[in-house]
């Protein structure tokens, strides 16, 4: 599914946790089941591709419960 076409808002904490039309993209404590990580880890090119370092930081943040601060 195409995350970019939904109403997904990753510009703030509340929007990121709320997800978009297709549902949640972040599962706090579970990066392996977080759509954000799944999509960013795929081999398919897509909008706003994270670097490997950025992806690892986001995965660690999600694994730690996705705290606000």
Q: Above 50 in pLDDT, residue 3?
A: no
| pLDDT tens digits for range 24-44 | 999 999 999 999 999 899 888
Closest CA to 24 of 61, 68, 14: 14
pLDDT of residue 49: 86
- How many other C-beta atoms lie within 10 A of the C-beta of residue 3? 19
Q: How many CA atoms lie within 13 A of 54 on its CB side?
A: 7
3-state secondary structure of 65: coil
pLDDT at 69 over 50: yes
pTM: 0.81
Give pLDDT tens digits for 11-21: 999 999 999 98
d(CA 60, CA 9) in angstroms, rounded, equals 20
């Amino acid at each position: 599914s195409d995350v970019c076409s939904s109403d997904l808002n990753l510009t703030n904490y509340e929007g990121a946790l709320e997800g978009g039309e297709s549902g949640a993209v972040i599962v706090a404590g579970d990066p392996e089941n977080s759509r954000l990580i799944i999509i960013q880890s795929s081999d398919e090119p897509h909008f706003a591709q994270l670097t490997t370092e950025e992806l690892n930081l986001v995965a660690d943040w999600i694994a730690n419960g996705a705290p606000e601060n």
